[in-house]
Amino acid sequence: MRPEIAWAEAMKFENRHDPYRFFDELRKTPVARVADDIYVVTGYWELLALAHDPRVSSDISRSPLQAKRAAAQEPPPEAEHLTAYGRQPSMIMSDPPYHDRARRQAMRQFGPPHSPDLIPSMEPGIERLCNELLGKAAGKTRIDIVDEYGYRVPVTVICKILGVPLEDEKAFHAWIFDFMAGLDLGPEAATEEGKVRAAKGRESTAALTEYLRGLIDGYVRKPGEGLLSRLVNDDGPDGPMAPPEAAANALLLLIAGHDSTVNTISHCVLTLLRNPGSVELLRRRPGLIPRAIEEVLRLQSAVQFFPSRSATADIEVGGTVIPEGSAIFLMYGAANRDPGRFPDPGRFDPERRANEHFGWGSGIHTCFGGPLARLEVNVALEVFLQRVENPRLVVDPPPYRRNQIFRGPQHLFIDYDRIREHS
Amino acid sequence: MRAELIADVVAEFKAYGRIVIVGASLAGLRAAETLRDEGFTGPLTIIGDEKQEPYDRPPLSKQVLKGLARADHTLLPRMRKVDADWRLGVAATGLDRRVKQVRLADGEQVPFDRLLIATGTRSRPWFNPQEAALEGVFTLRTADDAGRLRAALAAGPGRVLIVGAGFIGSEMASVCRELGLAVTVAERAEGPLVGALGGVIGDIAAEMQRDHGVDLRTGVSVEALEGDAQGHVRRARLSDGTTLDVDVVVASLGSIRNTEWLEGAGLASGRWGVACDAGCRVFDINGVVTDSIFVAGDIARAPHVLYDYQFLVQEHWDNADVGGRVAAHNMVSLEPQRRPHLPLPAFWSGQFGVNIKGVGVGPFADEIVITQGSVTDRRFAAAYGRNGRIVAAVTFNHGKWLEYYGALIERSAPFPPPPPGYDHPDGMQPMPARFPTPGAPTGWPDVVLTGHDPTERGAEYEYRTKKR
Ligand SMILES: Cc1cc2nc3c(=O)[nH]c(=O)nc-3n(C[C@H](O)[C@H](O)[C@H](O)COP(=O)(O)OP(=O)(O)OC[C@H]3O[C@@H](n4cnc5c(N)ncnc54)[C@H](O)[C@@H]3O)c2cc1C
Ligand code: HEM
């Protein structure tokens, strides 16, 4: 299969539940050209090298996708995501020194050494919420792990951490849904429906950006609770963050701060139920849960890739020269199944050793929220395992969402005998 | 021999062989754990002259001196339970290879089939024994040392003098400033860290010290210490004719390898440590490799393929951690299963609010180039080169980039490396790295075993970075 065909197949909506067959095809050329100026990286070692190479830029304004977008009247589909986070670059789409400074400013309000207690302080609330949600499922025998369980937890937590009012959740949930559906890097983006979705995505993204700007401006005028307020008011060594920048990063933190966690919770449940014996194994040895979660992230990376990178010079890697100016997609989900790095890569092995996967990325853009996400997924899974008796998949594969980057089930229905009392 | 016979030999050794480890610290502990992990169930004896269970040294000059951790609270985390005969608090005093016995200070003889030497190093003491005996004069290597020094610093002394500005001396100076103590650092070389990182980085380290209020004196040595009537140190005389009033003096003059107990054993041991092959097997005095004696950690010196096969000693934590594991694996494996211990040297240090991390062997280089970031902001990466290839790198608050440079070093990639796509430092010209001239004592003996073609890449390196 030619790389451009394998790539198009992997990006097609109908293959969302399993793009890995096509990634295996692609990996025959670990660094493959799939369009004029797009190179996709599916080999583990090649990805590792590029994720750490300072000639690879994450700055969206240097990407050929951005240039295309600027030149075209009607933006080409693969450039859609560029509008997503607005004009001001957030840290994920920028390079040092800007990136490092923004990340330091945000981290100051989020984790150690300056804010070591924030994440641990969330744990009791997360556990309470998980139990409440299962309590609601007690009278029934079927639950949607996405809408009725996995989604509620991270969205509640990230709102609290950021200082985004939970009352606004309905509104921004709908906007984010449109944004995700409109951000399509596959062949369907060029269809009429695709264009409609893209237009809707643009509108909703604009509305979401506007909303967050308003929130930030409010915090500039009157400081309040939460990370966003502290970001624009706190006077740390790097100073307060300018409001437009803070709005761009708020958008990133709000979306990245819950969406991938939802998908990871769903994929954990899905993977355990697909592999007979693993629910029992983790019930017997709950100490294995953290490793099982890492193994799910390897197999079903919630962030499959992030398409803002490009080459600032000709870069030789894996027998290919990526020409200066090309877009580079580091395919985390594909490299995580490279048999040259992980023996028997398709197998779910919660006891796998040396499991240094790319589920959290690699290099300076390595996930900012990992410790929070780990805590959320861990508690959600633990409570699920303790209380849901005899869980079974209703449909396999479950229906997937359209988005290729932030990949996960739209719904995940589970049947069960009963919900055990909360001990 | 037929395959099943060989398998029998290994199985029999794992069941009944006798293994002795001398040195109960990082390398020794990791070796013991690995032996049990690999299914060795025979008698295992671990001999250590310190009374404490194996503990970690890096926190001693950092958290412990700051008062954030107690000196007796840095025990090494255990990877697994180790069933062994622990002989703590008794030193090995001799090795008889003919009868395969280790002699202990209490007169006992401990027999072995395989021996691991992991006796590490100790601090070089202050050169004048009378002055060294003054109250208030310290060195820092052990937990006891750290406990005593911490107590002296917590008592709020007038001025602390640190002699020697290597990593540990500089870390101590940093802690003193954090504690609000007046501190003078005296260094014979042109600046701090010069032995490990060269003069260009030394200048930056010097600026960091001065910015933080350290009274840094370079190019001077301390010639004498004077005590008061109670035998407490009160004054230091420097080679530039000045004197200092001091209440605490820490001699941070580097280390001495604990090889004395091996005298007469006929091994290739001496001032620079115990020589071994890349699989941790010790050479005898003729350079013939032994099959039953292994060495790991600070005391080991092995030829390194990346550095012209020169013998390399590495007084770094990672080297002891991984070296102990590899040595243990090789002790219970036959030839085809043996692994090389070819670490890309890696180290870290925390001082004056800066996290310093490095890979490779700086002193092997003659040139340096700042490659990324900003020296003024103390956030940068620099690469070291020799003969047009990259041999080492150092980062200041830029550790996430280290892996990139490690990969370049492993490939013997061209020096200077290609310019990054962003965050360019001001001047990107290679310049002399300014290491002390050969002949001045440095950590690198000039033993070259054989030639080396840098385009050969058959070797497998271990390279350790924490991914997250
Ligand atoms: C204050 C301090 C800070 C450090 N900070 C860092 C850092 O930030 N980063 C880094 O990479 N490295 C650091 N190091 C270095 C690191 O601690 C060493 O590389 C490591 O301890 C080496 O381990 P080892 O087991 O080889 O030797 P050692 O830890 O020296 O252990 C050898 C053991 O053998 C014992 N012994 C010696 N002779 C005999 C004998 N004849 N019989 C019985 N026992 C004997 C010794 O008492 C000792 O317990 C630091 C070291 C010190 C002292
Ligand atoms: C299981 C859940 C999560 C997964 C799998 C995940 C995965 C990732 C990955 C792969 C990247 C790297 C993107 C790139 O290639 O540049 C990343 C970056 C990021 N993530 Fe996460 N993430 C998760 C949860 C979170 C949470 C909870 C937060 C916020 C609290 C968060 C915030 C961020 C931010 C801000 C970045 C950009 C970091 C930078 O550019 O320096 N993520 N994440």
ipTM: 0.89
B63 touching A, CB under 8 A? Answer: no
Chain B residues touching A62 at Cβ < 8 A:
421
Q: Is residue B455 part of a domain?
A: no
pLDDT band at B397 (very low <50, low <70, confident <90, very high): very high
Once rounded to an integer, what is the mean pLDDT over residues B404-410? 95
Using most ligand atoms within 8 A of CB, pick from A255, A299, A303, A404 the residue to mutate for ligand 2.
Answer: A303
What's the pLDDT at B4?
Answer: 84
Give the gap in angstroms from C-alpha A313 to the nearest C-alpha of chain B. 7
pLDDT in tens, A315-371: 999 889 999 999 999 999 999 999 999 999 999 999 999 999 999 999 999 999 999
- Provide the pLDDT for residue A74: 56
* Last-in-domain residue among B209, B238, B253: B253
Pair A88, A131: CB distance under 8 Å: no
Q: Has residue B293 got a pLDDT over 80?
A: yes
Tell me whether residues B420 and A362 touch, CB distance under 8 A. no
Amino acid letter for position B82: V
Residue B467: list chain A partners with CB under 8 A: 356, 362
Taking only residues 337 to 396 of chain B, the set having a beta carbon closer than 8 angstroms to any beta carbon of chain A reads 371-374, 377, 379
pLDDT on residue B436: 85
Q: Quote the mean pLDDT of chain B.
A: 91
pLDDT at A86 over 60: no
Evaluate if residue B34 carries a pLDDT over 70: yes
Q: Which ligand 1 atom lies nearest to the CA of residue B50?
A: 47
Of A254-263, B86-95, B427-436, the poorest mean pLDDT is in B427-436
CB atoms within 10 A of CB B466: 6
Q: What average pLDDT score do residues A62-73 get?
A: 76
Using the predicted structure, report yes or no on whether residue B449 has a pLDDT greater than 70: no
Q: Which ligand is located closest to the Cα atom of residue B261?
A: 1
Expressed as residue numbers, the domain containing A310 is: 3-419
Q: Which of B253, B286, B306 is where one domain is finished?
A: B253
> What is the chain A residue with the closest CA to B372?
A54
Ligand in closest contact with the CA of B150: 1
Confidence at residue A88, expressed as pLDDT on a 0 to 100 scale: 81
What's residue B124's pLDDT? Answer: 94
Q: Do both B239 and B279 map to the same domain?
A: no
Query: Under a CB-based contact definition with an 8 Å cutoff, are residues A88 and A248 in contact?
Result: yes
- Looking at residue B210, what is its pLDDT? 98
Whether B463 is covered by a domain: the verdict is no
Are B433 and B287 in a shared domain? no
The pLDDT score that the predictor gives to residue B326 is 98
Distance A201 CA to ligand 2 centre (A): 21
Query: Closest partner residue to A55 among B374, B418, B467, by Cβ?
Result: B418
First to last CA, chain B: 47
Q: How far apart are CA B186 and CA B216, in angstroms?
A: 6
Ligand 1 pocket list (CB less than 6 A): B 22-28, 47-50, 57-58, 60-61, 91-92, 118-121, 140-141, 168, 258, 261, 297-298, 315-317, 320, 347-349
Write the residue with the smallest CA distance to atom 27 of ligand 1: B120
Q: For residues A193 and A77, what is the distance between their CA atoms, to the nearest angstrom? A: 12
Query: In terms of domains, do B264 and B318 share one?
Result: yes
Mean per-residue pLDDT, B96-110: 97
> What does the pLDDT read at residue B1?
61
- Residue B443 pLDDT > 70: no
Give A-chain residues touching B371 at CB under 8 angstroms. Answer: 54
Q: Which of B17, B28, B45 is nearest to B295 (CA)?
A: B28
Q: Do A54 and B468 touch (CB under 8 A)?
A: no
Contact predicate B28/B298, CB 8 Å: no
Identify which of A48, A52, A96 has the shortest CB distance to residue B422.
A96
The whole-number pLDDT of residue B450 equals 24
Q: CA-CA-CA-CA torsion for B37, B39, B44, B48, nearest 10 degrees?
A: -20
Q: Give a yes or no: residue B454 inside a domain.
A: no
Higher pLDDT, B116 or B311: B116
Helix (H), strand (E) at residue B237: strand B233-238
What's the CA-to-centroid distance between B468 and ligand 2, angstroms? 13
Confidence label for B442 from pLDDT (cuts 50, 70 and 90): very low
Q: What is the total count of domains within chain B? A: 3
Distance CA A131, CA A330 (A): 38
Which residues form ligand 2's pocket by a CB distance below 6 Å? Answer: A 58, 91-92, 103, 252-253, 256-257, 260-261, 264, 297, 302-303, 306, 332, 359-361, 365, 367-369, 372-373
Q: Residue with the nearest Cα to atom 20 of ligand 1?
A: B317
Task: Search chain A and give the residue with CA nearest B403.
Answer: A52
Name the domain boundary from B253, B279, B306: B253
What is the reported pLDDT for B461?
55
Write down the pLDDT at residue B459: 45
Token digits of residue B331: 């002790």
- B43-64: average pLDDT: 97
**Does B173 map to a domain?**
yes
Mean pLDDT of chain A: 94
- Residue in chain A nearest B407 by alpha carbon: A49
Q: Using the beta-carbon criterion (under 8 Å), do A52 and B418 form an inter-chain contact?
A: no
Residue whose structure tokens are 């650092």: B185
Inter-CA distances, B251 with B176, B199, B456, Å = 15, 22, 43
In a domain, B452, yes or no: no
pLDDT in tens, B164-210: 999 999 999 999 999 999 999 999 999 999 999 999 999 999 999 99
Q: Please list the residues that pair with B392 across neighbouring strands.
A: B360, B384
Strands, E, within B389-444: which ranges? 389-396, 431-432
Answer for the pair A183, A403: CB distance below 8 angstroms, yes or no: yes
Which ligand 1 atom sits nearest the alpha carbon of residue B146? 1
Q: What is the model's pLDDT at position B83? A: 96
The set of residues, in sequence order, having a beta carbon less than 8 Å from that of B365 and lying 6+ positions away, is B198, B384, B385, B386, B391, B392, B433, B435
- Express each pLDDT in A224-262 by its tens digit: 999 999 999 998 999 999 999 999 999 999 999 999 999
Tell me what the mean pLDDT of segment A14-42 comes to: 97
Tell me whether residues B422 and A57 touch, CB distance under 8 A: yes
Q: Would you say residue B460 has pLDDT above 80? A: no
The CATH number of the domain where A244 resides is what? 1.10.630.10
Instruction: Considering only the C-alpha atoms of chain A, give the largest distance between any 2 of them, rounded to a whole number of Å.
Output: 61
Q: Are B213 and B177 in contact (CB under 8 A)?
A: yes
Could you tell me the pTM of the whole model? 0.90
Does residue B327 register a pLDDT over 90?
A: yes
**pLDDT surpassing 90 at residue B147:** yes
Q: Is B422 on the interface with A (CB under 8 A)?
A: yes
Where do the H-state alpha helices sit in A85-242? 98-108, 123-136, 152-162, 169-182, 192-221, 227-233
pLDDT above 70 for B456: no
Q: Which ligand is nearest to the CA of A297?
A: 2
According to DSSP, residue A225 is labeled S
Chain A closest-CA separation from residue B403 CA (Å): 7
Q: Which residue segment(s) compose the domain that B385 sits in?
A: 346-445
The confidence band for A182, taking pLDDT boundaries of 50, 70 and 90, is very high
Q: Same domain, yes or no, for B266 and B191?
A: no
Comparing A375-379, B279-283, B449-453, the range with the smallest average pLDDT is B449-453
Q: Going by CA atoms, what residue is nearest to atom 16 of ligand 2?
A: A365
Site of tokens 């004196």: B217
- Cα A282 to Cα A289, A293, A344, A382, B348: the distances in Å are 6, 11, 21, 9, 37
Q: Are strands B367-374 and B379-386 parallel, antiparallel or unpaired?
A: antiparallel
CA-closest residue to ligand 2 atom 15: A306
Does the CB of B467 have a partner CB in chain A at under 8 Å? yes
The residue among A109, A115, A367 whose CA lies nearest residue A238 is A109
Residue A419 has pLDDT above 80, yes or no: yes
For range A62-78, the mean pLDDT: 68
Confidence grade of residue B458 (pLDDT, cut at 50, 70, 90): very low
Number of domains chain A contains: 1
Asked whether the predicted pLDDT for residue B275 surpasses 80, the reply is: yes
In a domain, B462, yes or no: no
Q: CA B233 to CA B252: how far, in whole Å?
A: 16
Give dist(CA B434, CA B243) in Å, integer: 29
Q: How far A362 CA sits from the closest chain B CA (Å)? A: 8
**What is the reported pLDDT for B299?**
96
Residue B460 lies in a domain: no
Using a CB-CB cut-off of 8 Å, the residues of chain A touching B401 are: 52, 54, 364
Tell me if chain A has a CB within 8 Å of the CB of B309: no
Q: Does B407 touch chain A (CB under 8 A)?
A: yes
As a whole number of angstroms, the distance between CA A86 and CA A101 comes to: 19
Residue to test with chain A: of B378, B422, B464, most A Cβ within 10 A: B422
- Per-state percent for chain B, helix, strand, coil, to nearest 5: 25, 30, 45
Region B403-421: mean pLDDT is: 95
Confidence tier at A72 by pLDDT (50, 70, 90): low
Q: Is the pLDDT of residue B455 over 60?
A: no
Which residues from chain B sit within 8 angstroms of residue A48, using beta carbons? 403
A309 pLDDT more than 70: yes
Among the listed residues A363, A399, A376, the one whose alpha carbon sits nearest the alpha carbon of residue A270: A399
Q: If DSSP codes are grouped into helix, strand and coil, which group holds residue A347?
A: coil
Contact A326, A38 (CB under 8 A): yes
A54 and B404 within 8 Å at the Cβ level: the answer is yes
Assign residue B190 the CATH number of its domain.
Answer: 3.50.50.60
- Same domain? For B382 and B329 the reply is no
Q: Is residue B354 part of a domain?
A: yes
Q: Are residues B237 and B152 in the same domain?
A: yes
Query: Does the pLDDT of residue B467 top 60, yes or no?
Result: no
Spell out which residues of chain B touch residue A95, defining contact as CB-CB under 8 Å. 421-423
What residues contact A136, with CB distance under 8 A and at least 6 apart? A148
| Residues of A whose CB is below 8 A from B403 | 48, 52, 363
Question: Which chain B residues touch A237 with a CB distance below 8 Å?
Answer: none
